[in-house]
Chain A
Amino acid sequence: MSGSDAPPRVARALREIEAHSRVAGLRIKDAAWPVEVQLDVDSGLPSRWRAAGASPNGVREIEPVTVFFYESFPSTAPAFFLRADFDRSHPHIQPATSGPPEPCLLNGSTSELMRSRGVTGLIDQLALWLERAALTQLIDPTQGWEPVRRDRFDDYVVADPNFLRRLVEPRSDCRVLTSRFLSVRDGGEANHVVVVDEGGAKIDEGLPRRWSDERNMSCLTFVAWSGKRASGEPFVADRYLPESIVDVRGLLERAAQLGCGEQLPSKLGLLESRLRGCRLPRPVPIAIVLIPRRPCDVIGQGSPLEICPYLVELKGRDDLGARSTKPVRISAHFDTVSTSLLRRAAGEAPTEDVVPWTIVGCGSVGSKLAVHIARTGRAPSLVVDRSPMRPHNLARHALLPVSHLESALMLSKATALCRAILALGQPAKDICLDVLPALARGNSAEIAPAGTRLIVNATGSLTVRETLCKSGLSRPRVIESCLMGAGRIAYMSVEGAGANPSSLDLVTEAYVLIGQDEEMRAVAFSAPPVEIDVGAGCSSLTFPMSDARLSALTAPMAEHLARLLAEKEPSSFGELLIGFNAEDGLGQRWARRRIAPFIEVGSEKVSVRVSATVHLRIEQEVASKPGKETGGVILGRWSDVTESFHVVDLLPAPPDSKFSQTEFVLGVEGLREALDDIHRRTGGALYALGTWHNHLVVSPPSGLDARTAALLALHQFFPALLLIHVPGGYRILVAGATYKSQEP
């Protein structure tokens, strides 16, 4: 068979089609536009049906398929049609009422498919369609009910499917609901979107008057469902009927076939009588939703109640009776935005469980995190920020003002974010207060009411970080998320169970990690923030960077946060995630470290927290010098907010140190240089806190220890820590020097 008579671009495609393993024959029936080609396609029947020549539902071993190539080919894909006697009641046939049956090959554009996979891709899809067509009708009910195929529609009915299903009672009935509509006229006919509200409506005498108002946007939705059979059993619509409704008469007949027809005619009759004497200034759509009960769950719906919406355009004096030929339009059902819809779209199970969590800080990072997560159906239940939206915030904030005027209004950031979350169908509460005073008093109930799983600190505030770590504050785990280094570095810390390691432990560890990376430390520890003028006499301390750059680093943190929110059991370990963006923004690398719980040594007044790594190194050093005291310098940070030391690194004893059975004397050789190096690498973020040494027996700090501590304290402005390792644990000695007024 040759395609030489056809235009060259079609002939080329025909050669490819003929070579397809499923194409058994090809004939050109008309070489002029539109080029008509007859294909014999092997429908890939399984072995027993192939031997029989056809599947039980009539799909033949070899199916004739007519293909039309239009002049716009290859910009548009050819159209495929089946033989005229192909069973039209098949769920996967386009519900056309005239012309040859057309298979619905793809839930999308066949032209796009052809551009992506070539004309072979279309034939693959056609072959697959035929194969599935042979199998589908015999699907066992436990696989699910094939929803009625409804492919061509111009109108939409937007409703929460769970709400609609909850209306269904054992007795057949028809509920009328208030609804709103929007009409879009594109040239000829108007297309309508009907949004179903969850309140009941009355078809009262005032209706014609209300609908006669040009500004009217309200309409009605009629919901009718399958009730009981005369025998008292539930009515089950167990016959598959193709979508062929074109008018009110057909709709009412179908409603009766589906067991939904008892109350619907009288409700429509009432509406007809109300509108009998009136002409509407513009068409008002009404939605009619039939909910038949199927013998098994509808595929993808998790319920045997199938939702089939239709739309009728009313103009006044409409005939809505059993013999009416008034047109009925098949409408698509769209979910209202809901948790389960968002989760499904994000690729998660469409569950509705809620994990309460709080986001503190609704600036650019916080708003991005909250919106990313809200879009997966797991929005924060509480959003906290004390500041209002300022115009300069709009450069990077996740929310967009709907008008230029709104951009000038200074709505609270928390309130604005809260509204966005509510619009995504999820409950959230805003707190527009400075949370620090309450936290400083040890009260966290406001931002973390009982049951709160996580607090996300996206304030980028050192004060909030430290205040959240104050001892005695009862709170859930804190996850901190921020950017550093003028937007080049993303930082996320996840506390372990019981806030150990804490956010402060983790950030101190992070400084060690960053300090080890030459490229990253140069960026992290040297970028100064810039003041941006935002109005007369007003300025804001921030890092200038583009929204795109901020989003690039924030999105991976949102991904990780989503994982944490979905996890059932929190890890006992903490976690650090540090992302580094390339200078040109094209590429990023991430380090992810698990951090073991810190060892808590301390007294009532002061807390000393030693990282597991440091503890291990001390134990190893002690074990390497049996019978002698040893020691070194401890590095980390001191927080005066939490009165705590965070020990994350050690400097070994200088070579001139003295190790003996009774004492350890720290040498000085090279010590100054080593400390300077730490300072240089971490920009001062890590520093010497004091020293450590060990006692061979369990004993309290000695007099010598006390004198050393006092000496150290005089040389620094924060307390000096002497960490003493004794068999089975630690002893500490903290000495601090304070200001003494010079008495005359």
Chain B
Amino acid sequence: MVAKTTHFRVDNGDMSLIEVESGRRLLIDIDIRGAADDPEHETPDVASQLRARLKRDEAGRLYVDAFLLTHPDEDHCRGLQNHFHLGPLEDWVKADDKIVIREMWSSPIVFRRASKNHNLCDDAKAWNKEARRRVANVRANRFAADGDRILILGRDVDGKTDDLTAILVEVDTEFSKICGAHDSTFSARLLAPLPGSDEDEEDVLSKNDSSVVLNLSLKANYVEGARYLFGGDAGVAIWEKIWGRNKDRKHVLEYDVLLSPHHCSWRSLSWDSWSDLGDDAKVSADASDALGQARAGAKVLASSKPVVDDDDDPPCIRAKREYESILKPQKGQFYCIADGKGDDPYELEVTQGGVSLKKVAATAATVGSVFATTRVGAQPLPHG
């Protein structure tokens, strides 16, 4: 199958589904607002859109192979308890029909205690509880099956993850395992979380800065098709650190698609406040370089409300301008997910020449078959 990515319309939130060529599905963050579950409300019903794109296992359960929560903020995990099965697989209830997470991909922040910088919404607490359940299971059994699997992305500060080598992915390494199996149709390079160098710095870094930053390479016809850079809500401090660690191997930061961090926030590109300083606010050269390794024709996506020329941040018009200047020499495109028509998510297909917009109806579309979808005046092709 063709690798494709779906970016749901969730205003200032993140929700992306990655389907790799092997058919495995990786969900990155969710923001399923209560209004989205209300059929009367005009908020797009992203839960149904997601469910329609998932497969069921032999027991009839919808599932994602992996769910990456970049960081435990509400606009990245809202709806987790309502829509996802948490707890042992045997407790799954048909009537609830919740989605099974075969493998959690979590930052090590789940091991932290709550603090003034670390208060959690209920969905985030539920994620933590489930992650801890799975880690405890791994510690006890040294093995996990689908529904109990977990990967910890990044080492924690004080050695809490040291005994978890089997499920730990170290920063600046690549992996292509999903649900315990090697999958040659993708590889992922972990660029962050980067813990503070001491407790003080750690205290300054916010939850946003604990975000998992991942550069995901998706194959098309067995060659590299496109690279996606997902940065959660990582702020400027993290992007500067990422540049510092990778400036001598900047190819690892290259992307065909960048999900602009923190819903196109200026705070990922600058230490200055946009609302206070306006155009006098200065761009961090290092952060801009870290986010500036666009390939030819690259797309920068803003998973946010429409970007308008005002003092708001996020999304910030100045951030959009900065991304556009990065994209210009590459003939790339900045696109805000909220700008599309209707409720449908923004969907891309991965080819050996980069990404292209998903066809009108790409199912089994080959030359020689009709791919045109139904439209006014269309009629079924009869067969005799």
Contact in complex: A106, B368 (CB < 8 Å): yes
How far does the alpha carbon of A550 sit from the alpha carbon of B158 in the complex, in Å?
Answer: 78
Contact in complex: B354, A49 (CB < 8 Å): yes
Contact in complex: A52, B372 (CB < 8 Å): no
Nearest-neighbor residue (CB-CB) of B329 within chain A:
A51
How far does the alpha carbon of A92 sit from the alpha carbon of B367 in the complex, in Å?
Answer: 8
Q: How far is the CB of A182 from chain B (nearest CB, A)?
A: 25
Contact in complex: A47, B221 (CB < 8 Å): no
Q: Which residues of A contact B380 (CB under 8 A)?
A: 116
Contact in complex: A124, B297 (CB < 8 Å): no
Contact in complex: B377, A118 (CB < 8 Å): yes
A98 on interface, CB distance cutoff 8 Å: no
Contact in complex: A46, B351 (CB < 8 Å): yes
A142 on interface, CB distance cutoff 8 Å: yes
A692 on interface, CB distance cutoff 8 Å: no
Q: Which residues of B contact A47 (CB under 8 A)?
A: 226, 256, 295-299, 332, 353-356
How far does the alpha carbon of A143 sit from the alpha carbon of B357 in the complex, in Å?
Answer: 22
Contact in complex: B375, A50 (CB < 8 Å): no
Q: Which residues of A contact B352 (CB under 8 A)?
A: 46, 135, 138
Query: DSSP majority for the A interface?
Result: helix
Residues of chain A in range 479-515 having any CB-CB distance to chain B below 8 Å:
none
Q: How far is the CB of A534 from chain B (nearest CB, A)?
A: 34
Contact in complex: A46, B353 (CB < 8 Å): yes
Question: Which of these binds chain B: A125-133, A459-467, A521-529?
Answer: A125-133
A105 on interface, CB distance cutoff 8 Å: yes
Contact in complex: A142, B222 (CB < 8 Å): yes
A204 on interface, CB distance cutoff 8 Å: no
A332 on interface, CB distance cutoff 8 Å: no
Residues of chain B in range 86-128 having any CB-CB distance to chain A below 8 Å:
none
Interface string of B327-362 (1 = CB under 8 A from A): 000111000000000000000010111111101100
Contact A124-B332, Cβ < 8 Å, known A55-B353, A116-B381, A135-B353:
no
A121 on interface, CB distance cutoff 8 Å: yes
A596 on interface, CB distance cutoff 8 Å: no
Residues of chain B in range 234-277 having any CB-CB distance to chain A below 8 Å:
256
Partner of A125, one of B332, B354, B371, B381: B371
Contact A129-B367, Cβ < 8 Å, known A48-B353, A50-B354, A124-B360:
yes
Q: How far is the CB of B229 from chain A (nearest CB, A)?
A: 14
How far does the alpha carbon of A106 sit from the alpha carbon of B221 in the complex, in Å?
Answer: 24
Contact in complex: A106, B370 (CB < 8 Å): yes
Nearest-neighbor residue (CB-CB) of B378 within chain A:
A117
Contact in complex: B356, A117 (CB < 8 Å): no
A104 on interface, CB distance cutoff 8 Å: yes
A250 on interface, CB distance cutoff 8 Å: no
Q: Which residues of B contact A620 (CB under 8 A)?
A: none
Q: Which of B256, B330, B366, B370 has the most CB of A within 10 A?
A: B370
B contact residues, range:
35 or more
Contact in complex: B372, A51 (CB < 8 Å): no
Q: Which residues of B contact A112 (CB under 8 A)?
A: 381
How far does the alpha carbon of A134 sit from the alpha carbon of B353 in the complex, in Å?
Answer: 9
B145 on interface, CB distance cutoff 8 Å: no
Q: Which of B222, B332, B352, B380 has the most CB of A within 10 A?
A: B352
Partner of B370, one of A52, A92, A125: A125
Contact A128-B297, Cβ < 8 Å, known A47-B256, A49-B354:
no
Contact in complex: B366, A132 (CB < 8 Å): yes
Contact in complex: A51, B222 (CB < 8 Å): no
How far does the alpha carbon of A56 sit from the alpha carbon of B375 in the complex, in Å?
Answer: 34
Contact in complex: B370, A116 (CB < 8 Å): yes
A288 on interface, CB distance cutoff 8 Å: no
A120 on interface, CB distance cutoff 8 Å: yes
Contact in complex: B365, A140 (CB < 8 Å): no
Q: How far is the CB of A94 from chain B (nearest CB, A)?
A: 12
Interface string of B297-333 (1 = CB under 8 A from A): 1110000000000000000000000000000001110
Q: Which residues of B contact A55 (CB under 8 A)?
A: 353
Contact in complex: B353, A104 (CB < 8 Å): no
A546 on interface, CB distance cutoff 8 Å: no
How far does the alpha carbon of A108 sit from the alpha carbon of B382 in the complex, in Å?
Answer: 13
Nearest-neighbor residue (CB-CB) of A124 within chain B:
B372
Contact in complex: A51, B296 (CB < 8 Å): yes
Partner of A48, one of B222, B256, B365, B369: B256
How far does the alpha carbon of A51 sit from the alpha carbon of B368 in the complex, in Å?
Answer: 28
Nearest-neighbor residue (CB-CB) of A45 within chain B:
B353
Q: How far is the CB of A16 from chain B (nearest CB, A)?
A: 10
Contact A51-B371, Cβ < 8 Å, known A45-B353, A128-B365, A139-B221:
no
Q: Which residues of B contact A100 (CB under 8 A)?
A: none
Contact in complex: B368, A52 (CB < 8 Å): no
Partner of B221, one of A45, A125, A140: A140
Nearest-neighbor residue (CB-CB) of A113 within chain B:
B370
A contact residues, range:
35 or more
Residues of chain A in range 130-180 having any CB-CB distance to chain B below 8 Å:
131-132, 134-135, 138-140, 142-143
Contact in complex: B356, A131 (CB < 8 Å): yes
Contact in complex: B378, A116 (CB < 8 Å): yes
A107 on interface, CB distance cutoff 8 Å: yes
Contact in complex: A138, B221 (CB < 8 Å): yes
Contact in complex: B367, A104 (CB < 8 Å): yes
Nearest-neighbor residue (CB-CB) of A130 within chain B:
B367
B48 on interface, CB distance cutoff 8 Å: no
Q: Which residues of A contact B1 (CB under 8 A)?
A: none
A327 on interface, CB distance cutoff 8 Å: no
Partner of B297, one of A51, A105, A113, A120: A51
Interface string of B172-215 (1 = CB under 8 A from A): 00000000000000000000000000000000000000000000
How far does the alpha carbon of A135 sit from the alpha carbon of B367 in the complex, in Å?
Answer: 12
Contact in complex: A117, B370 (CB < 8 Å): yes
Contact A120-B375, Cβ < 8 Å, known A47-B256, A92-B367:
yes
B285 on interface, CB distance cutoff 8 Å: no
B363 on interface, CB distance cutoff 8 Å: no
How far does the alpha carbon of A117 sit from the alpha carbon of B296 in the complex, in Å?
Answer: 36
A350 on interface, CB distance cutoff 8 Å: no
Q: Which residues of B contact A234 (CB under 8 A)?
A: none
Q: Which residues of A contact B377 (CB under 8 A)?
A: 118
Contact in complex: A128, B371 (CB < 8 Å): yes
Contact in complex: A51, B331 (CB < 8 Å): yes
Contact in complex: B371, A124 (CB < 8 Å): yes
Partner of A49, one of B223, B353, B357, B367: B353
Q: How far is the CB of A140 from chain B (nearest CB, A)?
A: 5
Q: Which of A52, A113, A117, A131 has the most CB of B within 10 A?
A: A117
Interface string of A458-478 (1 = CB under 8 A from B): 000000000000000000000
Q: How far is the CB of B188 from chain A (nearest CB, A)?
A: 20
Q: Which of B352, B353, B354 has the most CB of A within 10 A?
A: B353
B141 on interface, CB distance cutoff 8 Å: no
Contact in complex: B369, A107 (CB < 8 Å): yes
Contact in complex: B365, A50 (CB < 8 Å): no
Contact in complex: A128, B378 (CB < 8 Å): no
Q: How far is the CB of B292 from chain A (nearest CB, A)?
A: 16
How far does the alpha carbon of A116 sit from the alpha carbon of B366 in the complex, in Å?
Answer: 18
How far does the alpha carbon of A105 sit from the alpha carbon of B368 in the complex, in Å?
Answer: 6
Nearest-neighbor residue (CB-CB) of A116 within chain B:
B381
Nearest-neighbor residue (CB-CB) of B299 within chain A:
A47
A44 on interface, CB distance cutoff 8 Å: yes
Chain B positions near chain A (C-beta within 8 angstroms):
221-223, 226, 256, 295-299, 330-332, 349, 351-357, 359-360, 365-372, 375, 377-381
Chain A positions near chain B (C-beta within 8 angstroms):
44-52, 55-56, 92, 104-108, 112-113, 115-118, 120-121, 124-125, 128-129, 131-132, 134-135, 138-140, 142-143
18 pairs across A/B with beta carbons < 8 Å?
Answer: A44-B356, A46-B352, A47-B299, A47-B332, A49-B353, A51-B297, A51-B332, A55-B353, A56-B353, A104-B367, A106-B369, A113-B372, A116-B370, A125-B370, A131-B356, A139-B221, A140-B222, A140-B223
Instruction: Kindly list 11 other residue pairs between chains A and B, CB separation below 8 angstroms, not including A51-B331, A116-B379.
Output: A46-B297, A46-B355, A47-B256, A47-B355, A47-B356, A49-B297, A49-B353, A51-B330, A105-B367, A116-B378, A117-B378
The 8 A-B pairs of least Cβ separation, nearest first, read A47-B354, A51-B297, A47-B297, A107-B368, A51-B296, A48-B354, A46-B353, A49-B353
